[in-house]
């Protein structure tokens, strides 16, 4: 404690500085860098306060980054880059932009003192800033813009932080640029930069390449993995990161009852996909610059993950949507129209809606503690969420400081699969399970608006068979703030685990095909099954208890290919697992609290920011840091 106070005192700096030829009083306290004009009348006075954790770079001289980086190397000036917020229309979170202020000092000595103290403050207060990142770019995701997005919007920001890039895999034109730039960037990294980021870029050439890389290659020294793509790409990274962590810990992923090891590698998402639900639900906006800034400053958001099992074999992990019935059918249909890009979901959604199907099944669930929270309590999981913070203490009870990443990893995970299972049986339009709100641009409040990112539970939504108009009402409510659960044919439950099985005789049309597929997936006792890809060829990876890995490429078998034109509707649907079709119907699922961490901080409340900025007349806001820091 004494050392900490000492450090704070050492870092404190206060002096007059000039911004645009106007004199300002500037102060660096432990946690904030603030400046305000001194010669202004007090009522016009503006104080800009930047949390140290949100400083992006401190450079000598007068530096510009847009449209190109230019440096006027003067003796008495320095430039500070930081996170600046602005609200965005049409999304629930705030856009982050790069703020920049050039300061002039009365002497070079004072200038150097400011630079030194600001940089030391950042290093002291932001231990999770990444230094080495592995970046995977899916060139075929969403509107096929991932490479451009990365190179035009994200790379310049990383360059500010001092990039050294190493390209692996087959490189393309843009890679040459990175390689060419390397020398120049590496130089300033040594001399000037606030902190260094070492990026390894991989542009994928096939589905599951990123996952396989994470499962097999040397990851020594990396702090995090970044994916530039959509939810499918994120899912690959998720599987790679979780799988690798369990491999190294000697944990058997197949056992539905096992406590999985939380993953030390952070995951960053630069959105460039079709739904981008994970990004939207954890950041609040689909914006590559905002996401890049969250990565650069090393934000950390824990996330619950659902493991899906078929008997004693792991099938997949899910975070956003595990949906049977409507969402499964939409996915099957949308695969035929991938060429439409993101619009394929709207087209397929309409087609499947018009086909008016419902399915029988038995759902069993293990309710979560109703005293902790409820899916109908009208709360939102926002940045600094108290429900999630309390869950951290519950999930990692042995850690001394539950908020700290490293201490939580040393604690013992609390295994809570106790309780009484509830069984419901009947005919459903859809059965959905989500670990988080799953908000996205189509549905800004999400599948379950009050779900939490990191509370160790999921929300199970049961939509009983109903007439088409009522079902449309249910769907339509997802697009507004109207409560989609306030309908007589809809139920929502906060759960820790779920099982699903086909009701009655399972030997129905379509199901045989699924069974055939599952036979081909080589499930041995204790064997692990991974499947997936939505690009026409499905790679199955089966790993048995001895660790032997076998892969076999096979043509995608999508059940019910003629589902929309057959006169007789299919009796069995499929599971949509974060955009992947599962080859099994009878599955069991379990939520693993805070299994992974993202470079994000949850959705920042627009209202709180607005209120805050009016009160203090500040163009940059200390809001989050003031709520989350000691």
Ligand X SMILES: CCCCCCCCCCCCC/C=C/[C@@H](O)[C@H](COP(=O)(O)O)NC(=O)CCCCCCCCCCCCCCC
Report the site for ligand ADP in 225-284 (rule: CB under 6 A): 229-233, 236, 273-275
In the region spanning residues 566 to 595, those forming contacts with ligand X, defined by CB under 6 A, are 576, 578-579
Identify which of 200, 166, 195, 168 has the alpha carbon closest to the alpha carbon of residue 183.
166
Of 212, 231, 299, 304, the one binding Ca ion (CB under 5 A) is 304
> What's 272-338 look like in SS3?
CCCCCHHHHHHHCCCCHHHHHHHHHCCCCEEEEEEEEEECCEEEEEECCCEEEEHHHHHHHHHHCCH
Cis peptide before 512 (omega within 30 of 0): no
Secondary structure class of 555 (helix, strand, coil): strand
Based on the shown chain and the rule CB under 6 A, indicate whether residue 538 belongs to the binding site for ligand ADP.
no
User: Interacting stretch for Ca ion, rule CB under 5 A, among 90-98, 194-202, 271-279, 447-455?
Assistant: 447-455
| Calpha distance 128→306 (Å, rounded) | 25
Q: In the bound complex, what is the minimum distance in angstroms from residue 288's beta carbon to ligand ADP? A: 13
Q: Which is nearer to ligand X, 478 or 499 (CB)?
A: 478
Whole-number Cα distances in Å, 347 to 337, 351, 401, 507, 550: 9, 6, 49, 31, 37
Q: Does 239 bind ligand X (CB under 6 A)?
A: no
Query: Which listed residue (309, 429, 452, 590) binds Ca ion by CB under 5 A?
Result: 452
Helices 2-11 and 108-125: crossing angle in degrees, nearest 10, is 150
DSSP state of 443: B
- CA-to-CA distance for 44 and 62, rounded, in angstroms? 27
Nearest CA among 212, 56, 210 for reference residue 135: 210
Residue 414, Cβ density class (10 Å: 0-12 exposed, 13-18 middle, ≥19 buried): middle
Residue closer to ligand X, measured from CB, 480 or 550: 480
- Residue 304 binding partner per list Ca ion, ligand X, ligand ADP, none, with a CB distance cut-off of 5 to 8 Å that depends on partner kind: Ca ion
Q: Where are the beta strands (DSSP E) in 435-515?
A: 458-464, 490-501
Among 77, 212, 223, 231, which one carries the catalytic annotation? 231
Q: Tell me which residue has its CB nearest to Ca ion.
A: 304
| Residue 140 binds to ligand ADP (criterion: CB under 6 A) | yes
Judged by CB under 6 A, the residue of 261, 373, 439, 533 near ligand ADP is: 533
Whether 231 sits among the annotated catalytic residues: the reply is yes
Q: State the minimum distance, in angstroms, from the CB of residue 214 to ligand X.
A: 18
Q: Which is closer to Ca ion, CB of 147 or CB of 452?
A: 452
What is the nearest approach in angstroms of ligand ADP to the Cβ of residue 572?
24
399 forms part of the interface with ligand X (CB under 6 A): no
State yes or no: residue 479 binds ligand X (CB under 6 A): yes
- Count of residues binding ligand X (CB under 6 A)? 31
Q: Is 138 in the site for ligand ADP (CB under 6 A)?
A: yes
CB of 580 to ligand ADP, least distance (A): 7
Strand, helix or coil for residue 571: coil
CB 327, min distance to ligand X, A:
6
Per-position x/- string for 547-586, each x denoting binding to ligand ADP as judged by CB under 6 A, each - no binding: --------------------------------x-------
H-type alpha helices, 307-435: 326-335, 344-355, 386-395, 405-410
By rule CB under 5 A, what string of x and - marks binding of each residue 385-424 to Ca ion?
A: ----------------------------------------
How far apart CA 491 and CA 54 sit, in angstroms, is: 42
Tell me which stretch binds Ca ion (CB under 5 A): 92-100, 163-171, 304-312, 605-613: 304-312
- Write the binding mask 214 to 233 for ligand X: x where contact by CB under 6 A, - elsewhere: ----------------xxx-
Strands 132-137 and 94-104: unpaired
* Residue 208 C-beta: closest distance to ligand X, Å: 14
Complex with ligand ADP: residue 334 or 391, whichever CB lies closer: 334
Q: Which is nearer to ligand ADP, 231 or 455 (CB)?
A: 231
Q: Is 482 in the site for ligand X (CB under 6 A)?
A: no
Count other C-beta atoms under 10 Å from residue 318's C-beta.
27
Query: Is residue 51 a contact point for ligand ADP (CB under 6 A)?
Result: no
**3-state DSSP assignment of residue 50:** strand
Q: Among the candidate windows 346-354, 451-459, 535-543, 554-562, which touches Ca ion by CB under 5 A?
A: 451-459
CA-to-CA distance for 103 and 620, rounded, in angstroms?
A: 17
**From 4, 406, 421, 476, residue interacting with ligand X (rule: CB under 6 A):** 476
Burial call 78-109: b when 16+ CB within 10 Å, e when fewer: bbbbbbbbeebeebbbbbbebbbbbbbbeeee
What, of ligand ADP, ligand X, Ca ion, none, does residue 204 touch, CB below 5 to 8 Å by kind? ligand ADP
d(CA 621, CA 5): 25
Q: Residue 249 contacts by C-beta under 8 Å, 6 or more apart in sequence?
A: 261
Residues that bind ligand ADP (CB under 6 A): 138-142, 204-208, 229-233, 236, 273-275, 533-535, 579
Which residues are marked as active site? 231
Residues that bind ligand X (CB under 6 A): 230-232, 273-277, 320-321, 327, 330-331, 345-346, 349-350, 353, 438, 440, 442-443, 447, 472, 475-476, 478-479, 576, 578-579
């Amino acid at each position: 404690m004494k050392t900490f106070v000492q450090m704070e005192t050492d870092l404190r700096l206060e002096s007059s500085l000039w911004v645009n030829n106007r004199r300002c009083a500037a102060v660096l306290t432990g946690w904030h860098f603030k400046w305000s004009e001194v010669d202004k009348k007090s009522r016009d006075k503006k104080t800009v306060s930047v949390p140290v954790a949100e400083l992006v770079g401190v450079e000598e001289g007068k530096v510009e980054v847009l449209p190109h980086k230019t440096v006027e190397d003067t003796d008495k000036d320095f430039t500070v880059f930081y996170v600046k917020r602005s609200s965005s229309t049409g999304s629930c979170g705030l856009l982050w932009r790069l703020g920049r202020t050039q300061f002039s000092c009365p002497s070079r000595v004072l200038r150097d003192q400011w630079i030194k103290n600001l940089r030391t403050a950042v290093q002291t207060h932001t231990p999770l800033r990444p230094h080495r990142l592995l970046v995977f770019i899916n060139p075929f995701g969403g509107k096929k813009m991932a490479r451009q997005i990365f190179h035009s919007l994200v790379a310049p920001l990383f360059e500010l932080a001092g990039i050294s890039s190493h390209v692996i895999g087959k490189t393309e034109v843009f890679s040459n640029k990175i390689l060419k730039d390397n020398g120049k960037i590496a130089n300033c990294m040594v001399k000037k930069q606030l902190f260094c980021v070492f990026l390894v870029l991989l542009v994928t050439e096939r589905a599951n390449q990123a996952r396989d890389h994470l499962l097999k290659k040397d990851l020594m020294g990396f702090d995090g993995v970044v994916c530039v793509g959509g939810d499918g790409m994120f899912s690959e990274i998720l599987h790679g990161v979780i799988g690798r962590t369990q491999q190294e810990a000697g944990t058997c992923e197949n056992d539905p009852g096992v406590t999985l090891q939380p993953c030390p590698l952070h995951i960053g998402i630069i959105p460039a996909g079709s739904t981008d639900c994970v990004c939207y639900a954890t950041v609040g906006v689909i914006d590559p610059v905002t996401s890049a800034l969250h990565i650069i400053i090393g934000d950390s958001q824990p996330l619950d993950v659902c493991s899906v099992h078929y008997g004693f074999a792991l099938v997949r992990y899910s975070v956003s949507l595990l949906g049977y019935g409507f969402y499964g059918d939409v996915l099957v249909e949308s695969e035929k129209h991938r060429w439409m890009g993101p619009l394929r979901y709207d087209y397929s959604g309409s087609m499947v809606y018009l086909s008016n199907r419902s399915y029988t099944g038995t759902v069993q669930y293990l309710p979560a503690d109703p005293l902790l929270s409820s899916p109908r309590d009208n709360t939102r999981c926002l940045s600094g969420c108290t429900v999630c913070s309390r869950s951290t203490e519950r999930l990692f009870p042995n850690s001394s400081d539950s908020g700290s990443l490293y201490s939580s990893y040393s604690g013992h995970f609390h295994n809570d699969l106790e309780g009484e299972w509830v069984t419901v049986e009947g005919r459903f339009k859809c059965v959905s399970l989500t670990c988080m709100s799953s908000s996205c641009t189509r549905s800004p409040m999400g599948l379950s608006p009050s779900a939490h990112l990191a509370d160790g539970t999921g929300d199970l939504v049961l939509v009983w068979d109903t007439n088409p108009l009522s079902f449309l009402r249910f769907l339509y409510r997802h697009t507004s703030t109207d409560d989609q659960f306030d309908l007589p044919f809809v139920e929502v439950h906060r759960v820790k685990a779920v099982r699903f099985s086909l009701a009655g005789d399972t030997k129905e049309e379509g199901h045989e095909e699924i069974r055939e597929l599952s036979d081909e997936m080589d499930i041995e006792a204790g064997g692990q099954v991974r499947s997936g890809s939505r690009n026409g060829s499905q790679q199955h990876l089966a790993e048995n208890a001895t660790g032997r890995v076998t892969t076999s490429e096979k043509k995608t078998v999508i059940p019910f290919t003629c589902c929309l034109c057959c006169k007789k509707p299919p009796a069995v649907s499929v599971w949509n697992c974060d955009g992947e079709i599962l080859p099994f119907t009878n599955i069991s699922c379990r939520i693993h609290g805070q299994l992974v961490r993202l470079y994000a901080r949850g959705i920042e409340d627009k209202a709180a920011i607005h209120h805050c900025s009016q009160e203090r007349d500040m163009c940059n806001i200390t809001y989050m840091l003031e709520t989350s820091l000691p």
